[in-house]
Structure 1
């Protein structure tokens, strides 16, 4: 293939490569020194950047290097702070599809400004200047919102609550919370725990909270009781659900709440909600 492409002009090669993918362009840069210039050109990498790039750059929290479209693409793949530093935007290195991380400041969290219930603090491993830590509360409610207009069309997205559990945590492993994803005409619910359980705690919790669990199961249809999964960055994530982005612009609401359990809980640290392509 490289030999055949070498017979074409650089502009023609760049146009062809722009119809492929970022990994294909990177492979061509390594295939031949004569193809490198064409594969690195702005013609190629402009095609991998979002069509609403000017609006995204206007939301950037800091100045970006615009020396080349290729460099800009990989800056966006590393993620950038936007909207005054309360959210992050990033591109998938393989597909070029959009992802967002909404910080805890960008979420609606019940009683988040009440110092008796929550505290805002810096965390050394967070991607944001501050996170929110739960002191104590009975009814937990967290909501994030994003417009499908900001996402890549014809794509299935997953929404993930990014959390840590402090050494002082209590009440997080007893009763599941209700999680949901809603758009204008659809609502999908499930259940999730906010803390992994060891076998001993699970047995004790099952005995002590059996009646409350049964009440919960009646209120939530076919709940799976999802558990947090460990991430490579040291945080954990709980999948709140998934949704499909079509051509129509809709507002997506992502919720987690305890369903009238009135179980006191504390020690939950919330970094935010990540919205990223699933497939």
Structure 2
């Protein structure tokens, strides 16, 4: 799992927009809490040589909705999982939705047994264990302000 501290979060080092601190029930010493932004972007990467060959992996955003959560309800967020240097497949996901649209191939958060939410971002097949970077990106910008998402990290696990 890529911990929040290992992720490149746009404005993540600015204490006006994000707070980096310990989070209850997290397996990591530090998480990231969104205080207020209108440009939401998180990037992470892992070397594919750390992944088993001939294995399909899925990437999940692991997060919670804080008490001051605002701005993501029914908002489409774009997610991409790709090998560096390739285009990859962009997928529409929702961090929070009042009603799930089952007719489209959208992804919605699922509550885990540990109390966190996980949101499937995409998948990757590591054929021969190529030496490259698996890149994960979550992006949303519409000019409206958002807050209250608590990020634990991005989990990459075999499907």
For normalisation by structure 2, the TM-score amounts to 0.92
Higher relative contact order (CA 8 A, sep 6+): 2
1:149 counterpart = 2:31: no
Give the alignment partner of residue 240 of structure 1, picking from 96, 121, 130: 121
Alignment partners' CA distance in 2, 1:159 and 1:246: 16
What secondary structure sits across from 1:149 in the alignment?
Answer: helix
Q: Which deviations, in whole Å up to 9, do the C-alpha atoms of 1:117-168 show, x marking residues without a partner?
A: 0111211200000111001100100011011101111100000000000121
Residue 257 (structure 1) aligns with: 139
1:170 counterpart = 2:95: no
Task: Find the structure with the greater CA-based Rg.
Answer: 1
Give the alignment partner of residue 189 of structure 1, picking from 76, 86, 90: 90
Q: Per residue, is there more helix in 1 or in 2? A: 1
1:226 counterpart = 2:112: no
Alignment partners' CA distance in 2, 1:224 and 1:106: 29
1:110 counterpart = 2:110: no
Unaligned ranges ≥5, structure 1: 1-100, 203-222
Residue 274 (structure 1) aligns with: 155
Q: Which stretches of structure 1, 4 residues or longer, exceed 2 Å deviation after superposition?
A: none
Q: Per residue, is there more strand in 1 or in 2? A: 2
Unaligned ranges ≥5, structure 2: none
1:1-279 map, 5 Å: 101-183=1-83, 184-197=85-98, 224-247=105-128, 248-258=130-140, 260-278=141-159
Alignment partners' CA distance in 1, 2:94 and 2:134: 22
- Contact kept in structure 2, 1:176 and 1:225, CA below 8 Å: no
- Contact kept in structure 2, 1:102 and 1:144, CA below 8 Å: yes
Alignment partners' CA distance in 2, 1:246 and 1:174: 36
The CA deviation at 1:195 is: 1.7
Alignment partners' CA distance in 2, 1:196 and 1:163: 15
Alignment partners' CA distance in 2, 1:225 and 1:239: 10
For normalisation by structure 1, the TM-score amounts to 0.53
Alignment partners' CA distance in 1, 2:132 and 2:125: 11
The CA deviation at 1:250 is: 1.9
Alignment partners' CA distance in 1, 2:21 and 2:105: 32
Q: Which deviations, in whole Å up to 9, do the C-alpha atoms of 1:155-201 show, x marking residues without a partner?
A: 0000000000012110011421110111133411011111242x5xx
- Contact kept in structure 2, 1:156 and 1:277, CA below 8 Å: yes
